[in-house]
Amino acid sequence: MIKETVTMSHKELDRLHIIQESLNRHITQEQAAARIGISIRQVKRLVQRYRNEGPSGLVSRRRGKRPNNSFSTEFRATVISLLKGRYADFGPTLACEKLREIHGLCLSIETLRKWMVEEGIWRERRRKFARIYQRRMRRPSYGELIQIDGSPHDWF
């Protein structure tokens, strides 16, 4: 018998245990769906895949593949060449606006910033932390704290 090694994430391992409990009739498919956070129909699909393929049937089929919404390497190379050539001294926000206006290239500011950091065009800056001021003691009576200015006029 050939032994097969299946790499699973914690989420997939939890799914495996819950599907096994469902198959062993310890819990219903409705309870399994509630515990996993998916629909009953999807649980039925997972049970069917588990029966046909075993534990490897529960592993995500998207593993190791590029995301569907990722930009192509050619598009990225085009954007980087434009940034290095014409917009080398621009920040991510202005560069994104100019790429959209002049070249018709639509991408988010954050994606552009990430690419610029990876290429060494833009340096990440550290955030300035807000200064912490000492809290003022609460006064025992309302209106006790009066601001006094240096003007010679009688305001009170």
Share of residues in the chain with pLDDT > 90 (%): 57
Rounded distance, CA 14 to CA 92, Å?
41
pLDDT above 70 (res 155):
no
pLDDT for the residue 30 = 95
Report yes or no on whether pTM surpasses 0.75. no
pLDDT above 70 (res 50):
yes
CB 46 within 8 A of CB 19: yes
- 153 band by pLDDT with thresholds 50, 70 and 90: confident
- Summary mean pLDDT of the chain: 88
Q: What is the Cα 83 distance to its own chain's centre? A: 25
- 156 band by pLDDT with thresholds 50, 70 and 90: low
In this structure, how many other beta carbons lie within 10 angstroms of the beta carbon of residue 16?
19
Smallest CA-to-CA distance from 93 within 77, 110, 106, 76 is with 110
Let me know the angle formed at the C-alpha of 79 by 76 and 82, rounded to the nearest 5 degrees.
150
- 146 band by pLDDT with thresholds 50, 70 and 90: low
- 102 band by pLDDT with thresholds 50, 70 and 90: very high
Which residue did the predictor score with more confidence, 3 or 26? 26
